[in-house]
Amino acid sequence: MATYNLKKDVFELLSKGGFICSNSSKPQTQKLYNYIDENFDKLEDYFIEINYFLTQGDEYYHFTRPEQKVDINRKLEQAFRWIDIVDFFKSYDSSFGSGYRFEPQEISVQLKVNATLKSKLKALKKYTGTDNELDGIKKLVERLRSDGFVELENEISDSYKVLASFSYLEALILNINLSEEVKDEIPE
Evaluate if residue 75 carries a pLDDT over 50: yes
pTM for the structure as a whole: 0.79
For residue 181, what pLDDT is reported?
53
Write the pLDDT tens digit of every residue in 123-141.
999 999 999 999 999 999 9
- According to DSSP, the residues that pair with 56 across neighbouring strands are 61
Average pLDDT score, the chain: 89
Residue 57, Cβ neighbours under 10 Å: how many? Answer: 14
CATH number of 69-174: 1.10.10
Domain spans of the chain? 2-64, 69-174
Sheet with 53-56: strands ordered across: 20-21, 60-64, 53-56
Query: 116-154 burial string, b = 16+ CB within 10 Å, else e?
Result: ebeebbeebeeebeeeebeebbbbbbebbeebbbbbebe
pLDDT band with cut points at 50, 70 and 90 for residue 87: very high
In whole angstroms, what is the distance from residue 35 CA to residue 57 CA?
15
Mean of pLDDT values over 25-46: 94
- In contact, 85 and 144? CB cutoff 8 Å: yes
Q: What is the mean pLDDT of residues 152-176?
A: 92
Which pLDDT score is estimated for 74? 79
